[in-house]
Amino acid sequence: MSHVPELAVKNLHVAVEGKEILKGLSLEVRKGEIHALMGPNGSGKSTLANTLMGYPRYEVTSGEILFKGKSVLEMEADERSRAGLFMAFQYPVAIPGVSVANFLRTALNARRAVQDANGTGAMPVGKGIPPKEFRALLREKMALLHMDESVAGRYLNDGFSGGEKKRAEILQMAILKPEIAILDETDSGLDIDALRVVAEGVNALVGPDLGVLIITHYQRILNYVKPHFVHVMVDGQIQISGGPELALKLESLGYDWLREGKEVTTP
């Protein structure tokens, strides 16, 4: 694993409409690592996700977000995405009139254009991915996620079930090959079968070239996607970090022991 973390959040303070939500949060994620960020509702988990991706409503008042050693604070959301930072949304938006295939091909070409500019791509400058190559890639990744090929022709998330929307998010991740992926409560609203399929997709993509930050309220997705590190967020700060056993402790004890500032040993 690399020495310098691909994603480094340093003493981050974030306000929304003048109210401070994140109060000095620090976190590092490297490629090859799976991190889980847990915490009660209102602790600031989604604020962190949206701030990482550059949502303009979230104002960074102090601190730093570095991606591959460079500050992203002046970068727009699309620039962050093209650079290799990805977020799967808790509530994916429907885009009527834009097919899944067209959306993914456009996004992939934008991502590859940046890789070409940096000398890391395999595409001739100014050329998009050839249609035949893209169709083969799309079929391969859809099979990986147990998605029917007919989904490619449907409008993005339009009329999709909760499980289909989340699978489409993981499909984007599979196609774009980001270096760091943030999954913002991807497990919310999924039945156990859809959760398992999404988790299998994440597991199939995780490897030495991808680091993942799973933001979740519940432990259940961690039964399927095993994290290397678990961080618990309360009131805008990470209160405690540990291994996967920390998630099991939260499952049995809840968050009250952290709110009260009391250390509790697992029976």
Predicted pLDDT of residue 16: 94
Sign of the CA dihedral 142, 134, 54, 73?
A: positive
What are the pLDDT digits (tens) for 137-192? 999 999 988 889 999 999 999 999 888 888 899 999 999 999 999 998 887 778 88
What are the pLDDT digits (tens) for 201-247? 889 888 899 999 999 888 888 989 999 999 999 999 999 999 999 98
What are the pLDDT digits (tens) for 240-251? 999 999 988 888
Taking residues 26-46, report their average pLDDT: 93
* Reported confidence tier of residue 260, pLDDT bands at 50, 70, 90: low
- Predicted model pTM: 0.88
The string over 79-110, giving b where at least 16 C-beta atoms fall within 10 Å of a residue's C-beta and e elsewhere, is: ebbbbbbbbbbbebeeeeeebbbebbbebbee
Domains, in order of start, for the chain: 7-259 (3.40.50.300)
